[in-house]
A and B are shown apart, each in its own frame.
Chain A
């Protein structure tokens, strides 16, 4: 098979700090080529170069040669890449918030009424909405999801956005090379496997595929070849049948990972927070009449299929969507959901939408980590007399930030670097660091390991366990990664259609979880 893509001697640096060093890589037509590497190793940078992203130009371009379908290319902008038949599923999504699902999927490829097309040309032909809705539904169905095509993107949860982002690309018929930057980071296992099936089918049609993932099992299952990036250098390449997960992990991070695991224990404490008939009106992720007790000092897992409400609890506690029902925290009824009030009371909810809600993109790493703690509790102000007027006390912030950067292995040029410039996984780590800095009594986390590499994932999990044990921080941990929940949680609540369907102990057998997730009662009694 011929090479559809040939990259040779590619170098790229940001402000003098190298991100890619002498990278050589090729993708054959009809091949699925995996790309793995720790957070900040340069994967997204490489994809951005291939796709002609403006950020590459703005930061001084790159050196090296790229050939696509035998022709040397140097894209000035993304539309050149798109018209060559290159598609990209972006790590941080490229969706237009005010347009609907169907409009986003079909953007630039809308069906139009044929006679206006002839009459007025491509740009000014009338869009056939019905046709567009139908074909976007079809693309979404291939991914195993039913979604109202008329919802605006801004009303969707992160994992639904991920589906739309993928559907936009698989709906294209002119693709020759498809780049996927961590498309499965927020998908459930079932949906991920469906996507992998589609990728196989696409590669069968001769489309070259570059696939980035931190889930090495997926890489092993689907890739024809895999390349490993470490600190911007290509350090290894394996052919199918020679891909071993442990080997990959060692190549990526230079040591093997120790899996975090909490010891088993029985929590017998009073409820710290109680939900009664609690509802959250989050589109596509509603909670309806949920009843739940969370005991002081426990880590409780929340899981569900996408769209069944596991993510909405945290959003509801931040007051981002209308809520109904009763919430009792520490024997006190919470009447109004207000993020700031709740933080002051000791409740912090870390959303899964890091781009929209989690980070202050244009602020420094340092400010991001101490922001909440300082706003709510003045933990880092210079004067406690006039906290609102006083500046940050760098003598206290710097050591703390240093510790966080070390604990989580956040890859950055300096503490003053804007968070926008960090890699996706490192932004995620910043969010976690900020939540832990605020030292809440009750922490809601949603998909905390989204997009972080295998080593950082374990660090985050063991940090959650440690802080729970030493500071007695109660944690509500929403995730679609059952394996993580099983290792960390004391109890796991399975949600179906916005209600708690069943609460299982973490060492219950797989089948029980599978049955509960799909809403069928198994043999076991509730815990």
Chain B
């Protein structure tokens, strides 16, 4: 006797959501009147900026922990390290390396703590990561509003407010700009291709793919599918989940660093606030769900989501002849994606055949 795997239905969310995005972005692009090369250049930039942040979400999803909104914590870790290094006036490549080292150290620590916390709230990870994100944000603000210049000595007066305490709203990253972004940069017609940075993102994507196909990755999958059974099979669920959170937080930290240095300056108090939402939306746009995510969905999702993200304000403006609507359209797209993906997910769970 021979048993065969069932034919996968063609119309599942893995296909529907990206298809909807494709159609929407195309329509919005037509309405917006933006040139193709402009949009493409923008999308490539966003691909580099947001790539690692979106990739950081994959492993927690596979581990059954849902969307990790606390990648903002990783972002704050790297921002902290960045501000420390700037405060001591360390420039150039040594500065970049030091930022990385401190940032990774901090995010390993924070990832560990996050993992420990999430192990206590199994099944409610998503809401917990959102709240933790808010909470860490308030600690972060406290440190930079009153800690800098008082408890922490600062040798770089440019970043301090005139009263001598607290960091300015915006800090210039000029001293790191154009160090890695412009490596191997070439253009085809009007389109600029920063090959080195694209390769970096793809390298990390390959890394995630690789990890998911190792013994560790298999354990992550098992934990995501049936945590209780894992204990019986000799897999230490809690440890796997902690490792997953550490990995995700470190990746988020590196991702935020790429993001900030690419922009060239950063809003100390707000730069990290939207990373969670936007990255999650991008992942979902690629067809991932809160139960399953693949590397290719992340890569596809970044392209689709950001295309829509770039053209929708212009499209909105053209449609309704109102400039203020632009920003509104962006948040509409971001939250709309997440809401849609969540609904599609719940719908899938109710299909009787997918039983535990």
| Interface, chain A (partner B; CB < 8 A) | 51, 53-54, 77-79, 81-83, 90, 94-99, 103, 107-108, 110, 112, 116, 120, 122-127, 145-148, 150-152, 154-156, 160, 281, 283-285, 305-308, 319-321, 356-357
Contacts and interface: CB of A to CB of B under 8 A. Distances in A.
B172 to A, nearest CB: 39
Contacts of A284: 1, 3-4
Given A79-B236, A123-B214, A319-B352, A308 B225 contact: no
Contact of A305 (B1, B218, B354, B355): B1
Contact of A78 (B232, B352, B354, B356): B232
A110 B215 CA distance: 7
Contacts of A150: 5
B236 A124 contact: no
A53 B232 contact: yes
Contacts of B353: 320-321
Nearest to A168: B233
Interface of B: 1-6, 210-211, 213-218, 221-222, 224-226, 229-236, 352-356
Closest 8 CB pairs of A and B: A284-B3, A79-B234, A98-B225, A307-B1, A82-B234, A94-B232, A123-B216, A96-B222
B213 to A, nearest CB: 5
A148 B2 contact: yes
Residue among A51, A150, A284 with the highest chain B CB neighbour number at 10 A = A284
A398 to B, nearest CB: 31
7 contacts: A82-B233, A97-B226, A99-B218, A103-B221, A108-B233, A124-B216, A284-B4
Contact of A145 (B1, B211, B225, B235): B1
A96 B230 contact: yes
B4 to A, nearest CB: 6
Contacts of B6: 155, 281, 283
Contacts, number: 119
Contacts of B213: 126-127
B3 A127 contact: no
Nearest to A497: B1
A300 to B, nearest CB: 23
Given A96-B229, A126-B213, A356-B355, 19 more contacts: A51-B232, A79-B235, A83-B234, A94-B229, A98-B221, A98-B226, A108-B215, A110-B218, A112-B215, A116-B214, A124-B211, A126-B210, A145-B1, A147-B2, A151-B5, A283-B3, A283-B5, A284-B3, A307-B1
Contacts of B235: 79, 108
Contacts of A321: 353
B233 A107 contact: yes
A441 B12 CA distance: 38
Contacts of B226: 95-98
Given A126-B214, A356-B356, A108 B225 contact: no
Contacts of B229: 94-96
A328 B222 CA distance: 43
A99 B226 CA distance: 10
Contacts of B4: 148, 151, 283-284
B216 to A, nearest CB: 5
Contacts of A305: 1
Contacts of B2: 146-148
A154 B355 contact: yes
Nearest to B233: A94
Contacts of A147: 2-3
Contacts of A79: 234-236
Contacts of B210: 126
Nearest to B243: A123
B351 to A, nearest CB: 10
Contacts of B211: 124
A147 B224 CA distance: 25
Nearest to A321: B353
A85 to B, nearest CB: 12
Nearest to B210: A126
Given A154-B354, A308-B1, A123 B231 contact: no
A513 B82 CA distance: 78
Given A79-B236, A148-B5, A283-B3, A127 B221 contact: no
A94 B6 CA distance: 23
A51 B230 CA distance: 14
Contacts of B231: 54, 77-78
A473 to B, nearest CB: 26
A127 B214 CA distance: 5
Contacts of B5: 148, 150-152, 155, 283
Contacts of B355: 154, 320, 356-357
Contact of A99 (B221, B354, B356): B221
A285 B215 CA distance: 31
A148 B3 contact: yes
A65 B205 CA distance: 51
Nearest to B222: A96
A58 to B, nearest CB: 11
Contacts of B214: 112, 116, 120, 123-127
A306 B215 contact: no
A82 B232 CA distance: 10
B294 to A, nearest CB: 13
